[in-house]
């Protein structure tokens, strides 16, 4: 056996140290060159640190391990976040909170309830359907229990899992929304990151296009709230059933449907010759490819009816949706575009995308009907539809239109003491105001008033409360209303 001279062994024991001692004696007998100084015994607990993970596990993907031997801890740390991710400074958090609050208030105004799911899910949840781009974009690994897990790249599969889990314990229809963080390893462009937050609204249990009409109207309502108009943004709408009808007419097997959808979703991203080549590789005849591309160029329902006839189910659904849009009052926001299919394989009917009319940005949001999603995960199918709306693209659009809100810091009170011996008194005043529900920034050090006024301006404080020696002896504090400059004294017990 090769002599071991440069490695140490970490032997764990739980309640029987004698067993660990026996293991050590055995090791020393079998490996004579093993010095007693490099065999260590440590009680294992549930709080084992990364540095204490033994060498037998350190090489397994997803395991926690000590830094590699060559890791130079003296090297200056790169302070930038990992590529494709973001930090949120206070001003960024104010914008994010404002955006999320609008997502939430719109959802709740439409009668939706909030849900959430783990950021970490089983890898199998996202790869049930073969041939999807998403398979190659997963952040996935094996955890310590030898389970394949992934950071969620989207929210709909998690929704499906929860609906199946709840089963008949919930009454239909379900109207749920969530705002969650998602991860995809993909090429980054403006408005596209590897980490982003997504607003989803989903309706489970409604088979008619009234559900899609309501969902699109909820997005329109959100746009209106933040100052976006129909001249800024539109929705391209189609139906997967249009594509199904073309494939049926050319006897294309149904199992190729998902693959064809993924190819067509690249229509504006790759040259038309490459598109044709990919479609032919998906077993479509030359005639079918040409017919399909002609259908995909159709931009009106009248033209679609001329091509497919008036008995096609997709046409009926689309006509009803456009009629409902007129009743809601958002007809000027939507347009038919047969090329919209959405890349995810689980869509089955109406599909839609929100787009920037100036064409500077990628799709703002997208969604559609997915009536056969639940059976993909072993559940009973239910009629369902929903949408996903990312946080990154909408922020870029607001920047383009100069519609970003001015969200400065704001606090009701800033309190300072005029002497270190009065710090306790200032703390008492702060505590009383906070108990009454007011926000307070307490100056924790003995700072000059010039510094305090600068800080008050930076945090946009409404009033300054000064705890001075003479005033405090009288049971009072000084007040300065910062917007008007008004000054007065008030008893501490009467401070509101």
Q: Which residues are annotated as a binding site for L-histidine?
A: 154-156, 184, 198, 202, 342, 346-347
Residue for token pair 């029987």: 16
Helix (H, G, I), strand (E, B) or coil at 480: strand
Provide Rg for the chain, Cα atoms.
Answer: 31
User: Contact, 374 vs 346, CB < 8 A?
Assistant: no
Bin 219: left if φ > 0, else alpha if -120 < ψ < 50, else beta: alpha
Beta carbons within 10 angstroms of residue 11's beta carbon = 16
User: Contact, 394 vs 178, CB < 8 A?
Assistant: no
DSSP state for residue 173 in the 8-state scheme: P
Distance in angstroms (rounded) separating the CA atoms of residues 420 and 441 = 17
Distance in angstroms (rounded) separating the CA atoms of residues 318 and 241 = 10
- In the chain, what is the straight-line distance between the N-terminal and C-terminal CA atoms, in Å? 80
DSSP letter string, 59-82: TSTT---PPPTT--TTSPPP-SPP
Helix (H) or strand (E) holding 180: strand 174-183
Instruction: Return all residues near 82 (Cβ < 8 A) that are at least 6 apart.
Output: none
Helix (H) or strand (E) holding 303: helix 301-308
Positive or negative CA dihedral for 10, 16, 20, 21? Answer: positive
- Binding residues are 154-156, 184, 198, 202, 342, 346-347
DSSP state for residue 492 in the 8-state scheme: G
């Amino acid at each position: 056996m090769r002599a071991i001279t440069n490695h140490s062994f970490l032997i764990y024991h739980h309640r029987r140290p004698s067993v660990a001692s026996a293991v050590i004696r055995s090791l020393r007998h079998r490996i004579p060159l093993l010095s007693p100084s490099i065999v260590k015994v440590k009680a294992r607990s549930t709080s084992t640190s990364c540095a204490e993970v033994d060498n037998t596990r350190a090489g397994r993907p997803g395991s926690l391990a000590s830094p590699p031997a060559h890791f130079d801890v003296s090297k200056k740390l790169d302070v930038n976040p990992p590529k494709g991710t973001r930090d949120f400074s206070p001003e960024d958090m104010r914008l994010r909170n404002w955006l999320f609050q609008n997502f939430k208030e719109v959802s709740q105004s439409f009668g939706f309830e909030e849900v959430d799911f783990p950021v970490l899910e089983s890898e199998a949840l996202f790869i049930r359907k073969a041939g999807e781009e998403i398979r190659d974009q997963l952040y996935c690994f094996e955890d310590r229990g030898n389970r394949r897990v992934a950071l969620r790249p989207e929210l709909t599969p998690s929704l499906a899992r929860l609906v199946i889990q709840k089963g008949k314990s919930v009454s239909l229809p379900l109207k749920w929304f969530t705002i969650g963080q998602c991860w995809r390893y993909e090429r980054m462009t403006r408005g596209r990151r590897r980490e982003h937050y997504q607003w989803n609204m989903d309706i489970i249990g409604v088979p008619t296009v009234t559900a899609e009409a309501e969902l699109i109207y909820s997005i329109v309502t959100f746009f209106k709230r933040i100052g976006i108009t129909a001249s800024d943004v539109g929705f391209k709408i189609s139906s997967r059933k249009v594509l199904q009808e073309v494939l049926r007419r050319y006897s294309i097997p149904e199992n190729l449907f998902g693959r064809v959808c993924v190819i067509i979703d690249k229509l504006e991203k790759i040259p038309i010759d490459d598109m044709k080549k990919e479609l032919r590789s998906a077993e479509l005849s030359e005639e079918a490819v040409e017919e399909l591309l002609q259908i995909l160029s159709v931009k009106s329902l009248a033209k679609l009816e001329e091509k497919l006839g008036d008995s096609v189910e997709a046409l009926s659904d689309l006509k009803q949706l456009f009629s409902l849009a007129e009743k809601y009052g958002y007809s000027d926001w939507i347009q038919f575009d047969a090329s919209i299919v959405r890349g995810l394989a689980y869509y089955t009917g109406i599909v839609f995308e929100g787009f920037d009319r100036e064409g500077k940005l990628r799709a703002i949001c997208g969604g559609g009907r997915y009536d056969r999603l639940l059976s993909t995960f072993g559940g009973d199918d239910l009629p369902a539809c929903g949408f996903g709306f990312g946080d990154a693209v909408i922020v870029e659009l607001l920047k383009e239109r100069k519609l970003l809100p001015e969200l400065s810091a704001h606090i009701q009170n800033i309190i300072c003491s005029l002497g270190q011996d009065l710090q306790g008194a200032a703390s008492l005043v702060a505590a009383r105001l906070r108990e009454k529900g007011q926000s307070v920034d307490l100056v924790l050090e003995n700072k000059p008033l010039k510094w305090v006024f600068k800080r008050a301006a930076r945090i946009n404080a409404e009033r300054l409360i000064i705890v001075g020696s003479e005033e405090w002896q009288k049971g009072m504090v000084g007040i300065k209303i910062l917007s008007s400059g008004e000054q007065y004294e008030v008893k501490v017990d009467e401070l509101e």
